[in-house]
Structure formats: structure tokens, C-alpha cells
């Protein structure tokens, strides 16, 4: 006979032991001597074929009507060949994992795994990636279980960045977030990647070149100002060498004495030190060799050529940029802009385009030429760089 709410409420509490009130279908109310009342259900497990007692909840928190609904749900699972007790335990485990596997937890694990491999990331790049997550993503998605995050939540974060006018940043953050979710999918912490189709929702960004100058007269004036820079010799020499070699600023800033072959007038960068992950050989003009020789008394006993004694580290990213600002070139020219200056002028001077591209360490886009030969055109590039250095010196003298 079915129970009523009144029977459940007014059921006598046994002086000892347990009283069971059956509602049928395996559902019953268990009443204990301390007054506690528990809804339980007995069934045969479809998996083990053994009798199982399943706890549904406590009365009156779980009333009679709700207890019957929970019992019906359990019966449906059994009919489908699922043991409701095991299913409940699995759900608890999943909920626990969700609490542990937040976006921030998994993102930091992904970052640590990537940063362990210098062939994938330089230390500077690793630092920029985690800082980007900390600024733009963790405050909004950091504490969310990564398995529960939906595409619209990710898009909201990216749109907030766009609304601040940081369109390029939004694309960079997207790339990072997309990689984190792909990593989580591989680890089976996510069923799908909610960021995978969001790139098309972002505003298109036209890449702008770094501020640079190409007019010969203006180049000569800039070089004269650099020679007269009154800051530290490390920063001044860094700026003086930059236009001669036109490597990426981070590559020059982190140049090591061990990478320089003075006799062969070559600077060898290992793949772990390069943005594109490809080793690179830079021929050194007489002017660059002289400037490096000039640095030996100051930093020759350290690992890095441009070593900052006050911090115990190489010069910071901003050291050269700040110097350019002090020279009056903010928004006009940057250390990275020397690459554009050289590329534009050398092409106009009819130097072989391949020599220029190899000197810029641009990765081959043609898949049939992926086996990049870092020593290719070395003699031709050495001749080109010496002529370029002589040309720059000529511009500097004309500006005097």
C-alpha cells in the first residue's frame, strides 16, 4: 500500500533499531531510533545482478513526491542497463574533477608543459603568454570548470578585449585560449573545444609594420643621434649594432659571447633562441666586430654581451625602446623597425630577394623548401651586409 505525506510525517520513532515503511516498487522510508528518516530503494543491479540498497535522500528535505520521482529516474537507468548507485558515484567524481580542473588550473599546466621545452618557447615568450592569460582570461574564466565552459563565454571574453580597442590582442588571446582547450581535449578533460570556431567572430586585423624610416637622410640623422646617446654603453652599443644586422630585437638583446666567432666574423643563433625555431647564421661586418670588441672590457666575463650588472640579467625588452624615445623617435622608429628599414632599402638597391629574406630569418612558406638551410647564401649575405654597413656609415657622415 502506498504511503501518504501524513504517514511519513507522523510515523512512530522506534525506541531501538529501525522501522521500515514501504511505498512499493522498492522504495521505502527508513526510520531510526534517533528520529532520522531516510529514503532508500532496493533493486537488482543490471550489472552485477546483486541486490543493492540505494540512498535517495533524507526526509523531510526530500518529500514523498520527490522521492518517488527519484525512484522512477533510478528505474529508468536500470531499464537502460545502468546501475543508478554507480552512476551517482560517477557523477560525484566528475563534479569533484570539475572543481579541481578549472580553466586556470589546466591553463597553467599547459603553460608549464610548453615552457619546459625551449625548442617550442623562449623564456620571454612564455612570460608573455602567462601574463596575457592573467590579465585577460583568468579574471573571467579562471575559476570555471574547464569542461563546462561554453563558446559564448569565451567569445564574451574576446569581445571585451575588442571593445577596449585591442583587436590584435584579442587575436593573440584567442590563439592561446584555443590551445589550452585543445590541450584539455587531448587530456579528456573536455568533450570538445569551445573556442575552435570563434576566430571568424573576431574583427579582422591588418598587421601594421613597426614604426621605421626609409629616407636615407633621416636614416643618417638617426644613426648620428644613436652614436651620441648618453645612456649606458650596453644600450648605446645595442642600438649601434641593430641597423647593421637587423635581426629581431630579442635575438640581438640576448646575444651570448659563446655565439660569436670573431675569426670567421659569424654569429650563430641556435634554434632555441630564434622566434621561428630555426638556427640562424649572421655574418658580421667590420663595424659590428669593432663594436663587439669594444664591449669585451665591460661584459666579456659574463654570458651575455648586453648584460645589465644592476639586475644580473640581460638588458630588458624595453631598454632599447626607451632609448629611442629619449632620442626623440617615439612613434617614428623602433629597434624592430630597423628590419623594415633594411628590407625596404636593400630591395630598392636590387639585392637578391632571397639573400634579404634569409638574412631576416623569415621561415620558408613553400612547403617544398621547409628544410631551411641556415648557411644558404652565406658568402653573398656577408658581402651584402658589409656593403650595407658601409652604406649606413656613408649616410651617417653625410648627416654630419
Which three-class secondary structure state does DSSP give residue 227? helix
Read off φ and ψ for residue 343, nearest 5 degrees. -60, -50
DSSP state, residue 252: H
Catalytic, out of 275, 325, 326, 383 = 275
User: How far, CA to CA in Å, does 44 sit from each of 54, 80, 84, 227, 286?
Assistant: 10, 13, 11, 88, 88
Give the burial class of 87: count Cβ atoms within 10 A of its Cβ; 0-12 exposed, 13-18 middle, 19 or more buried: middle
18 in Cβ contact with 37 (< 8 Å): no
Residues 297-314 as b/e (b if ≥16 CB within 10 A, e otherwise) read ebbeeeebbbbbeeeeeb
Look up 117 and say whether it is catalytic: no
Look up 248 and say whether it is catalytic: yes
Read off φ and ψ for residue 19, nearest 5 degrees. -110, 135
Catalytic, out of 140, 302, 372, 391 = 372
Q: Residue 282 forms beta bridges with which residues?
A: 267
Look up 275 and say whether it is catalytic: yes
282 in Cβ contact with 266 (< 8 Å): yes
Look up 336 and say whether it is catalytic: yes
How far apart are alpha carbons 142 and 133 in whole angstroms?
9
Catalytic, out of 212, 336, 340, 396 = 336
Catalytic, out of 68, 136, 248, 396 = 248
- Cell numbers for 325, please give them: 624615445
Sequence-distant contacts of 41-50: CB under 8 A, at least 24 apart: 41/71, 41/74, 43/74, 43/75, 43/78, 43/84, 44/78, 45/78, 45/83, 45/85, 46/78, 46/81, 46/82, 46/83, 47/81, 47/83, 47/86, 48/83
Catalytic, out of 68, 256, 280, 339 = 339
Read off φ and ψ for residue 334, nearest 5 degrees. -135, 165
Q: Which residues are catalytic?
A: 248, 275, 336, 339, 362, 372
Amino acid at each position: 500500500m502506498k504511503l501518504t505525506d501524513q504517514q511519513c510525517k507522523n510515523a512512530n520513532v522506534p525506541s531501538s533499531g529501525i522501522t521500515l515503511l514501504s511505498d512499493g516498487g522498492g522504495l521505502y522510508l527508513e526510520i531510526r531510533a534517533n528520529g532520522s528518516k531516510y529514503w532508500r530503494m532496493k533493486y537488482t543491479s543490471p550489472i552485477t545482478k546483486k541486490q543493492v540498497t540505494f540512498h535517495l535522500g533524507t526526509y523531510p528535505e526530500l518529500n514523498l513526491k520527490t522521492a518517488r520521482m527519484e525512484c522512477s529516474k533510478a528505474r529508468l537507468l536500470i531499464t537502460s542497463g545502468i546501475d543508478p548507485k554507480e552512476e551517482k558515484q560517477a557523477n560525484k567524481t566528475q563534479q569533484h574533477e570539475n572543481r579541481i580542473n578549472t580553466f586556470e588550473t589546466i591553463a597553467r599546466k599547459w603553460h608549464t608543459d610548453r615552457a619546459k621545452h625551449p625548442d617550442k618557447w623562449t623564456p620571454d615568450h612564455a612570460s608573455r603568454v602567462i601574463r596575457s592569460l592573467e590579465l585577460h582570461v583568468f579574471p573571467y574564466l579562471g575559476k570555471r570548470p574547464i569542461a563546462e565552459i561554453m563558446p559564448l563565454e569565451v567569445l564574451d571574453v574576446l569581445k571585451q578585449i575588442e571593445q577596449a580597442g585591442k583587436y590584435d590582442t584579442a587575436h593573440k588571446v584567442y590563439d592561446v585560449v584555443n590551445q589550452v582547450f585543445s590541450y584539455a581535449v587531448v587530456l579528456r578533460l573536455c568533450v570538445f573545444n569551445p573556442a575552435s570556431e570563434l576566430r571568424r567572430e573576431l574583427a579582422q586585423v591588418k598587421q601594421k609594420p613597426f614604426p621605421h624610416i626609409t629616407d636615407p637622410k633621416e636614416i643618417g640623422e638617426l644613426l648620428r643621434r644613436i652614436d651620441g646617446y648618453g645612456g649606458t654603453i650596453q644600450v648605446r652599443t645595442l642600438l649601434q649594432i641593430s641597423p647593421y644586422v637587423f635581426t629581431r630585437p630579442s635575438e640581438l638583446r640576448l646575444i651570448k659571447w659563446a655565439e660569436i666567432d670573431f675569426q670567421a666574423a659569424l654569429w650563430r643563433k641556435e634554434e632555441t633562441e630564434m622566434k621561428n625555431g630555426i638556427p640562424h647564421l649572421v655574418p658580421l661586418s667590420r663595424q659590428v666586430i669593432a663594436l663587439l670588441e669594444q664591449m669585451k672590457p665591460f661584459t666579456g666575463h659574463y654570458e651575455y654581451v648586453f648584460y645589465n650588472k644592476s639586475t644580473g640579467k640581460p638588458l630588458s625588452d624595453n631598454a632599447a625602446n626607451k632609448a629611442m624615445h629619449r632620442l626623440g623617435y617615439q612613434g617614428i622608429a623602433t629597434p624592430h623597425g630597423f628590419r623594415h628599414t633594411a628590407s625596404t632599402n636593400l630591395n630598392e638597391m636590387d639585392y637578391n630577394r632571397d639573400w634579404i629574406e634569409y638574412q631576416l630569418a623569415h621561415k620558408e612558406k613553400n612547403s617544398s623548401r621547409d628544410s631551411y638551410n641556415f648557411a644558404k647564401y652565406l658568402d653573398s649575405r656577408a658581402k651584402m651586409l658589409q656593403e650595407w654597413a658601409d652604406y649606413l656609415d656613408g649616410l651617417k657622415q653625410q648627416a654630419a
